[in-house]
Amino acid sequence: MNRLPIYNEDTPAKPGLYLGLFHGREDPEKKLDGWGFNGPIIGPLNHVHTTYLSHIKIEFETPQEARNYGFDPGSLMELVTDDDMVLFQGKWYGDWIVYYYKISSLPALKDITFDSNSIDEGKAKNQIITTTQYWDCDCNIDYIQPYTQKHCAVCNRNKEDCSNSRVTEVLQHKLPLNKHVG
Ligand SMILES: [Zn+2]
């Protein structure tokens, strides 16, 4: 499986509800020096539902996102606790946080090559207009990554090796785009 985004180190690929794991350790018996390691950011999710403080059930927005995290989308997806920690992929975490991630600040579209008021249809079809606000990874779906994301954990591509996204495709995917040229 590809590397998952890490809490406090990476940003999620898209806005949504996420479960972040941290205060991690490989062995629950071992005393920790400091805070241990940061764990994955899991999501985007529709909900997080805890039962009897021992079963944390999650539902992903899409089946593909569930598979990215090693879950079978057709079955119950849950993390279990062990003692007072949550267990995920063979590692223990003392802390977990459920939070909403939104893209809060986008750079101005300085790289748009013409004034959007003067686009004529024929010209727009022949001309490729890109934006630094997003880049294209190699995924078949959800391939448009925000500039804040440096790496796609699904196809394992880095932002620096990929090209900027086309504005038309960003808009087709209904992603937020800052059109204000600063
Ligand atoms: Zn990708």
pLDDT in tens, 141-159: 889 999 999 999 999 999 9
Q: 46 CA distance to ligand 1 centroid (A)?
A: 21
Structural domain boundaries enclosing 23: 16-101
Q: 26 CA distance to ligand 1 centroid (A)?
A: 28
Radius of gyration, CA atoms only, the chain: 19
The SS3 of residue 172 is helix
Query: What is the C-alpha separation between 34 and 28, in angstroms, rounded?
Result: 14
Q: 76 CA distance to ligand 1 centroid (A)?
A: 26
32 compared with 106, residue with greater pLDDT: 32
Count of domains forming the chain: 2
The last residue of a domain, from among 51, 79, 101: 101
Question: Do both 22 and 91 map to the same domain?
Answer: yes
Question: Do both 141 and 90 map to the same domain?
Answer: no
Amino acid at site 162: C
Q: What is the pTM of this model?
A: 0.57
What tens digit of pLDDT does each residue of 64-93 get?
999 999 999 888 899 999 988 999 999 999
Question: Do both 20 and 85 map to the same domain?
Answer: yes
- Cβ 18 vs Cβ 45: under 8 Å: yes
Query: What is the C-alpha separation between 175 and 45, in angstroms, rounded?
Result: 18
What tens digit of pLDDT does each residue of 13-27 get?
888 999 999 999 998
The last residue of a domain, from among 40, 73, 101: 101
- Note whether residue 44 is domain-resident: yes
Q: 142 CA distance to ligand 1 centroid (A)?
A: 7
Q: Which of 78, 61, 64, 82 is nearest to 139 (CA)?
A: 64
